[in-house]
Amino acid sequence: MKTIKYLAASLVTLLFLLGTVQTYAGTPGKSETLKMKVEMGCASCQAKIQSGLGKTEGVEKAVADLATKTVTITYDPSKTNKDKLVKAIETLGYRTEFTPKDAKVGHSCSDKEMKKDGKSCSGDKK
């Protein structure tokens, strides 16, 4: 009888502890995905946007697609939001579909292979 009581008490304690741990750990996996058009001209732009966003606070995953000029960002909404993400892309030197027309955003592309061919990136400053 004593053993059963002891086991029951242990079980209650364990469940209580598990509940506490879960509460403190928050609810991970509540990430959101944002898709936006970003002016990128070449593979170098694509890489720059992807790695720059990857280092941005709250970003879990960023995929820049050169063909569709779309960036897909998976992020933690408790750490960042759309405005911050747009700002991060602008800071890297790229315009998004949410960037105002008169905003001063521009970059010089560093794709060496491209420059060697005498081509310039369509995303370059004019």
Binding site residues, Cu ion, CB under 5 A: 41-42, 44-45, 109, 121, 123
Residue closer to Cu ion (CB basis): 38 or 109: 109
For residue 109, the minimal CB distance to Cu ion (Å) is 3
For residue 48, the minimal CB distance to Cu ion (Å) is 8
For residue 112, the minimal CB distance to Cu ion (Å) is 11
Residue closer to Cu ion (CB basis): 42 or 62: 42
For residue 72, the minimal CB distance to Cu ion (Å) is 19
Residue nearest Cu ion (C-beta atom): 121
The CA-CA-CA angle for residues 56, 59, 61, to 5°, reads 120
Residue closer to Cu ion (CB basis): 32 or 97: 97
